[in-house]
Amino acid sequence: DVQQISKNKFISNKKTKNLKKTVTALNRNLGKSKEWIGESEGDKPKKAKTRYKDRKQLCGICGALVKRLVDHTRSHTKENLLKCPQCPVQMANSANLVRHVHTVHDKKVIKSCEPCGKGFTTNNAYISHMRTHHNIGEQYQCEICQKLFNHASSRL
């Protein structure tokens, strides 16, 4: 059965190489958004250069579409992670680490609720509070029973 094992290993390696090629090709083409600008002679408008600002790349490890593939890959490999100066937490992205320090350690309040005075360290927490406790904000309607909910996930 040594032949079978080596054959399976070969097939596995071939699949891995094909996946890497596919990921590379997808990463080359993902997020290329061409915009049309202004008027042009004739019927065709001028085409702007392809923009890569909002381009997302496919992770070859987990299949996620991410804006910063290098940072994301570090979260898998655990190499060169950024360390929190106040606790053992490590993160791949510096913006996430800054947010962690502000919300967990500094308890920096960025938004306060006018009706009850409660302070929030993230905008999402504030929005969730306003929906839940004060019925302020976007509501979501169930397509089956037409009932309104404060959170989209409540419809499920």
Summarize pLDDT for 6-28 with one digit per residue, the tens.
444 444 444 455 555 555 555 56
Domain total of the chain:
1
Q: What's the mean pLDDT in 40-44?
A: 51
| In-domain check, residue 148 | yes
Write down the pLDDT at residue 80: 85
Nearest to 101 by CA among 83, 118, 114: 83
The answer to whether residues 84 and 100 touch, using CB atoms and an 8 Å cutoff, is: yes
Query: Within a domain: residue 130?
Result: yes
- CA dist 33 and 36 (Å) reads 10
Answer yes or no: are the C-beta atoms of 71 and 93 closer than 8 Å: yes
CATH of the domain at 156: 3.30.160.60
